[in-house]
Chains A and B, each alone.
Chain A
């Protein structure tokens, strides 16, 4: 080829490339209808990475929320939830015997997606593995079996769960998070001390073996994971051809995809996405009662080495009165939430004493309390203790909550208390240092998404939780005694009273915990989809969703 022909060829190639790029850009809105999820009966679900990313379908190796969503679709659970209420799932019914100690679940016939029968033996194997390895390989999921002593398969369709002591039926809500794994797939990886199972990646061989309404045919923990119906599913078959769970790295990307219609459901999109799509045609925002709580924990360890004034309940009360919870709800949650009232969340309202209200924003009263205690303001406006120490405290936070930290700083500065955010790389280590003794930290932010039964959340502040999830260094024998006792109370009224007492211990008597806000669970849904009941969790939610014409 001559020099000029080569040049000409290059020019033509360049022109084609540029034209192709331009053409695809200009023609983007003319997307083939066949690829549209709405047209093909594919439910496209969008989640933000902070909520919905996952690293594996193996529940023992991944406790991210995205993995939990996936589990609902692919692994059977005995029961499922509608708000805080129990509903049958794989178990069509259950009997209670021995005064509430033994629960017998009657299971529906079903099959794993590879054709193997789904039996009670799968559930028994999963439960016994998780009980045996509760503090190691199954540490992420064993909470669902709290209080369980043994699990046995009476036959293929009958599972007997025996608790160590009598349990109220509400404790069974925890079992909604007990996901049964295919024994024939997981057992070969569970030998020895069980730890090798953490390295098992079911997504390496797709379609993943599933017993839920769907199976995974494509996996991308930070991209789009595709779920297609499992023909052996024991329950009502899904009404959609497939579900795609797409992870967006930021709120605006998800909001724009919802506007464009490429995503039908912004799952737990949050207040920022809701605010962004406000007024957009064809979209509706559905907010359900909060299942979450954000809290400021105060180090209550009597052996704490410095800032002894933090051990005074009045100081903690003044701090609580200084906090503007309404501003937190407005700024941080775009109004989609409630001021922090308890360590339990609004969806557990039946467990929260009626007279337990969120502390008002009353800086005048807070200043009065601190003045009364003799803490005078220094030249810089920060109060000083009689010992000459400034009331300046560090608060352990993670970087994503900088806006929360700014508001807390501002609020407390109004009453003469300085707050210094300490962004922790290893949160537990930062709070419990040194060596799990809680001798150093002052305050710590914590955020929990809660299970319906109140026991789990209240146990966070037990002596047993020292060194792990107890971010207040709180340890009180009376509290622990009542905590253990309430678990076995079969009379709902009696248990409600006990649970209320435990909350008041944390929130009023000791003020070890200052609740900040409860974020509502905000979903954004395209109006041409129906059956999305945002308070439901489990297969019952995913199989009912359908497109309306």
Chain B
């Protein structure tokens, strides 16, 4: 297959996935009992007539097909609709939380990756020794624990030292802070949620890194390097590690999308106002418009991450181009 054909096929597949997700989003949320006009918060005591009015205003009284057409045509214009709860554009509701989630996930990814790579490389390098199984087992143990449990433990352990809620010190502005103080405050608030993400994922990355490196260390060119008398660390660093980075790189991209989508639990533990928490509130408020938009964004995040991984593979692995 030529490079262009591969690209077109991957792009078409990604678009089809997003389109399918958009349709499923629409159907799924309307299949649930109740709607925005019946939910507790907005209309607990109002009359049936007023509920009908609200349904009409929110467009919920229209035939499903018509609602679907309006939804799809708006999507094609890049319009995710308006929140049923706040009446603001859905994008405005989600952009801020998404912007909060990305650095948390990014830092968590960096931390987990660094820890996972160190453990994986050491484990492969010292295969069969305590340096292999001890840290690997510990990281694998962490990776099977629910992330919210890890978060809760971090909260209990570091609660007195690091902030346990929010994205920043809400009172910092009263002290006319410097840019560095603001940055430091943000990083403090990012520390625990990012650490939870990193700890929860480092086991998987350690295992992949070890597995890839062990494979690379068994190649003939490594035998040649050994025969030339190079030190084992130099062999790992200069020859084996670069050649084992391909699966790790792919994994990073694939994981990124899933971490963003799965940020809800971490954000709930640390009261972190990210995309997961925004969607949780939308579920509570039966805010279909925000839910549809949010899940579409998350689906798109995973699809884009997968696509980037594929494109990167295309760049890194010459075998795909042939």
Contact = CB atoms under 8 A, between A and B. Distances in A.
A35 interface: yes
Interface string A403-436: 0000000000000000000000111110000000
A118 to B, nearest CB: 27
Interface in B148-177: 152, 155-156, 158-167, 169-172, 174-175, 177
Contacts of B46: 135-136, 139-140
Contacts of B161: 28-29, 260
Contacts of B57: 195
Contacts of B273: 220, 222-223
A55 interface: yes
Contacts of A28: 158, 161-163, 188, 191
A24 B269 contact: no
Given A35-B171, A220-B273, A222-B281, A425 B33 contact: yes
A229 to B, nearest CB: 13
B47 interface: yes
The secondary-structure label for the interface of chain B is: loop
B160 A140 contact: no
Interface string A475-503: 00000000000000000000000000000
Contact of B45 (A25, A56, A61, A469): A469
Contacts of A236: none
A166 interface: no
Given A35-B185, A249-B271, A428-B38, A201 B163 contact: no
Nearest to A139: B46
Nearest to A426: B34
A468 B155 contact: no
A139 B44 contact: yes
Contacts of B187: 20-21, 24-25
Contacts of A255: 159
A509 to B, nearest CB: 27
A426 B54 CA distance: 16
Contact of A223 (B33, B110, B167): B167
Nearest to B163: A262
B169 A256 contact: no
Contacts of A429: 33-34, 38
A248 B271 contact: yes
A11 B55 CA distance: 57
Contact of B175 (A35, A44, A55): A35
B285 A44 contact: no
B110 A252 contact: no
B41 A63 contact: yes
B175 A32 contact: yes
Contacts of B125: none
Given A25-B188, A241-B174, A260 B50 contact: no
A388 B157 CA distance: 57
Interface string A154-189: 000000000000000000000000000000000000
B121 to A, nearest CB: 16
Contacts of B175: 32, 34-35, 40
B42 interface: yes
B38 A35 contact: no
B184 interface: yes
What's the interface size class on B, roughly? Answer: 35 or more
B226 interface: no
B270 A253 contact: yes
Contacts of B267: 249
A260 B271 contact: no
A262 B185 CA distance: 13
B114 interface: yes
A263 to B, nearest CB: 9
Contact of B110 (A17, A53, A135, A244): A17
Contacts of A193: 53
Contacts of A215: none
A545 interface: no
Interface string B255-285: 0000000000001111101000100010001
Contact of B160 (A201, A250, A254, A256): A256
A35 B155 contact: no
B49 interface: yes
A42 interface: yes
B174 A42 contact: yes
A61 B87 CA distance: 11
A511 to B, nearest CB: 26
Contacts of B191: 21, 24-25, 28
Nearest to B169: A35
A252 B162 contact: no
Contacts of B268: 249-250
A74 to B, nearest CB: 18
B170 A244 contact: yes
A256 B159 contact: yes
B43 interface: yes
Contacts of A256: 155-156, 159-160, 164
A244 B174 CA distance: 12
Nearest to B186: A24
A288 interface: no
A137 interface: yes
B39 A253 contact: no
B181 interface: yes
Among A24, A62, A64, A428: residue with most chain B CB under 10 A: A24
Interface string A50-66: 00010110000111100
B33 A249 contact: no
A35 B177 contact: yes
A376 interface: no
A223 B50 contact: no
B107 interface: yes
Given A253-B155, A253-B165, A260-B159, A55 B86 contact: yes
A25 B53 contact: no
Given A35-B177, A37-B171, A249-B269, A224 B166 contact: yes
Interface in B273-305: 273, 277, 281, 285
Contacts of A140: 44-46
16 contacts: A36-B171, A55-B285, A137-B50, A201-B88, A224-B166, A241-B174, A242-B174, A246-B165, A253-B165, A259-B160, A260-B160, A425-B32, A426-B33, A427-B40, A429-B34, A469-B45
Given A61-B42, A252-B152, A426-B34, 7 more contacts: A21-B187, A139-B44, A140-B44, A220-B273, A242-B174, A262-B163, A469-B44
Interface of B: 32-34, 38-47, 49-50, 53-54, 57, 85-88, 107, 110-111, 114, 152, 155-156, 158-167, 169-172, 174-175, 177, 181, 184-185, 187-188, 191, 195, 267-271, 273, 277, 281, 285
Top 5 closest pairs, chain A to chain B, by CB: A256-B159, A34-B175, A426-B34, A139-B46, A224-B170
